[in-house]
Homo-oligomer: A and B are copies of this chain.
Amino acid sequence: MARIAVVAGDGIGPEVVAQARKVIDTVAPGFSYTEYDLGAARYHRTGEILPDSVLDELAGHDAILLGAVGDPSVPPGVLERGLLLKLRFVFDQYVNLRPSRLWPGTASPLGGVKPGEIDLICVREGTEGLYAGAGGTLHRDTPAEVATEESLNTRHGVERVIRDAFARAAARPRRKVTLVHKTNVLTHAGGLWARAFAAVAAEHPDVETEYQHVDAAAMFLVTQPQRYDVIVTDNLFGDILTDIAAAVTGGIGLAASGCINPTGAKPSMFEPVHGSAPDIAGKGVADPVAAVLSGALLLEHLGRREEAERVLGAVAAELSARTPGAPLRTADVGDRLASTV
């Protein structure tokens, strides 16, 4: 039986994770859950971000269910680099998977798009690029200051994530992969991505391919999001594009993500894209749907495809039944989802 590590985290994290766990436990009973206290609260209390002993324990789990970490009281970068990105990098979660679907009952800010018409997944690289932490500062806070950030890209890292994207596309009805980069300016990294993409594409003659510059893709996600099936892109571009995709499908309140190590050698991590939302924390009004959908990705990753589908079905029913703008109670949503899965 699967062993799940739960990192509820800060703000609304614990509230939404409780619902995800409730739903998973109903549809796939018998998993074991171990809670880990990490995030802004622990950092303030103990000064610890991610002790090695905890990292070792997490490594012994099959998956990590994460709520949200962070608080405005912690300086930018501390928890991101020390916790979230550290987990992604140490556990080699190179597939950062972000599906975007315009669900029935959900309003898009786009006037002309109807539920069902947007259904894409973004396969964002998760362990390289500008997220490598390779940067420096000289002459800080003087007129001579310089600061650098380096994007590091390897054929190994790029090819494996592209391979994953093609495998996912081959299993979807439309079988199309769009590579997004900025080959006309970032000629080195872009060249590597384009060559790796061409090589993998040659192994998949059944999958349609296209290339777009990141600025064009950002625009088309607004004007024609229907055109996308699978997007594969680098770490930073994926960060930006998936927020646009979330925006046109009802907001990050519904956006799920998986930080996946497809080899299974190390645990994958599943988390809603939204943050800890300290302004509404503790009020029981946060929408747990993104956390529950992340739970569905977790189930799918553990080979429980049928259970994952049942969660998606329950979410579709829940969203269809909602009145736009009507207030919701976090626990009630969780109860309804658990009773319909």
From B80, B108, B189, give the contact of A147 (CB < 8 A).
B189
Identify A149's interface contact among B76, B144, B188, B218, CB under 8 A: B188
Q: Which of A129-150 contact B (CB under 8 A)?
A: 130-131, 135-137, 139-150
Copies of this polypeptide in the complex: 2
* Given A219-B246, A223-B247, A240-B240: A189 in contact with B77 (beta carbons within 8 A): no
Which of B147, B195, B219 contacts A153 (CB under 8 A)?
B147
> Smallest CB-CB separation from A186: which chain B residue?
B149
A214 contacts partner chain B, Cβ-Cβ < 8 Å? yes
- List residues 41-60 of chain A with CB under 8 A from any CB of chain B: none
Indicate with 1 or 0, residue by residue over A229-268, a CB within 8 angstroms of chain B CB atoms: 0000000100111111011100110000000000000000
Q: Is A340 an interface residue (CB 8 A)?
A: no
Interface code A195-236, partner B: CB below 8 Å = 1, 0 otherwise?
100000000000000000011101110110000000000001
Q: Is the CB of B155 within 8 A of A144?
A: yes
Determine how close the nearest CB of chain B comes to the CB of A180; give it in whole angstroms. Answer: 11
**A146, A190, A242, A244: residue with the most chain B Cβ atoms closer than 10 Å:** A146
| In contact, A187 and B77 (Cβ under 8 angstroms) | yes
Contact A240 B222 (CB under 8 A): no
- A137 B219 Cβ-Cβ under 8 A: no
Instruction: Let me know if A173 is at the binding interface, CB within 8 A.
Output: no
Q: Give the interface size bracket for A toward B.
A: 35 or more
Contact of A187 among B81, B244, B246 (CB under 8 A): B81
A236 surroundings in chain B (CB, below 8 A): 182, 185
Contact of A136 (CB < 8 Å), options: B185, B188, B239, B241: B188
- CB of A252 within 8 A of CB of B150, answer no
User: Is A73 interfacial (CB 8 A cutoff)?
Assistant: no
With CB as the reference atom, state the residue of chain B lying closest to A250. B223
Give A216's nearest chain B residue, CB to CB.
Answer: B243
**Is A154's beta carbon under 8 Å from chain B?**
yes
- Indicate if A151 sits at the interface (CB-CB under 8 A): yes
Q: Is B143 within 8 A of A155, CB to CB?
A: yes
Q: How far is the CB of A111 from chain B (nearest CB, A)?
A: 3
8 nearest A-B pairs in the assembled complex, by CB-CB distance: A111-B111, A135-B188, A145-B155, A147-B192, A222-B247, A215-B243, A147-B188, A77-B187
22 contacts between A and B (CB under 8 A): A77-B185, A81-B184, A109-B110, A135-B151, A135-B186, A137-B192, A143-B156, A144-B155, A145-B154, A145-B155, A146-B192, A147-B188, A147-B192, A148-B151, A149-B153, A149-B186, A149-B188, A182-B236, A185-B239, A219-B251, A219-B252, A220-B247
> A142-B155, A151-B151 provided; 12 other pairs, C-beta below 8 A?
A81-B184, A109-B112, A135-B188, A146-B152, A146-B153, A147-B192, A148-B152, A149-B153, A149-B189, A150-B151, A216-B243, A218-B243
